[in-house]
Amino acid sequence: MHRLTEPNRPHNSLYVISDRGEVVTRYDERLLSKTKVSYMYSPGISPVTFDVDGVRFGCLLGMEIHYPELFAEYEKLDVDCVLFSTTGVSPVAAQAQGHAAVNSYWVSFSVPTQHSATAPPGVIAPNGGWLERCPTDGSPSVAVVNLDDSSEAAAESVTYARPWRRESRAGVYAEHQVTDPRSEDRTAAF
């Protein structure tokens, strides 16, 4: 929690701490559950990115896994990896895999150890596959991976899929659209 001035409720936050132990920035959860926004927290207002050794990171929290537009926003901000933390369970892990694959970036999936039996934490590659997962026995652990664009799990997604999606979203189809009566008539067969 990041406390605010009274009478405002605090933010639910992720702090980014430097290798010197200093706070670099903070991400405040923006899309909260009904309970959180009604009784517990004030929502944040913006995405947060930070760079470490040439790798750009973004942060998301809690039930924000259910909002693909937040993950797409980080793709537009050119992140390489989204750090996602939640107390959710296994369907949330599958959603995290989908967001990684759709946006062609890594997703770090962090949950408390008590959920490791059904949703072990880990790191998802840009192709949606797990690179590393923590044990399922509830023991404290850390997943460590190299975020390597040239790895088998990343190369195709980062080199081809992500640039093509960006090009297609930028309007590449406009010059190929046609005006044709057979296109306009949506009731005609074949």
Taking only the tens place, the pLDDT of each residue in 150-174 is 888 788 888 888 888 888 888 889 8
Stated pTM of the model: 0.88
> Residue 90's pLDDT is what?
62
Between strands 130-133 and 106-110, the pairing is: unpaired
Q: In this structure, is residue 183 part of a structural domain?
A: no
Do residues 133 and 122 lie in contact, with contact meaning Cβ atoms separated by under 8 Å?
A: yes
Q: In this structure, is residue 4 part of a structural domain?
A: no
CATH of the domain at 157: 3.60.110.10
The tally of domains found in the chain comes to 1
> Residue 59's pLDDT is what?
98
Q: In this structure, is residue 106 part of a structural domain?
A: yes
Residue 102: give the domain boundaries.
26-31+47-173
Give the residue from 117, 13, 115 showing the smallest Cα distance to 61.
13
Do residues 106 and 80 lie in contact, with contact meaning Cβ atoms separated by under 8 Å?
A: yes
What is the side-by-side order of every strand in the sheet holding 81-85? 49-52, 55-61, 81-85, 106-110, 122-124, 130-133
Classified as helix, coil or strand, 59 is strand
User: What CA–CA distance (Å, rounded) separates 151 from 147?
Assistant: 8
Average pLDDT over residues 109-123: 88
Long-range contacts of 13-20 (CB under 8 A, 24+ apart): 13/44, 13/61, 14/59, 14/61, 14/83, 14/85, 16/48, 16/50, 16/57, 16/59
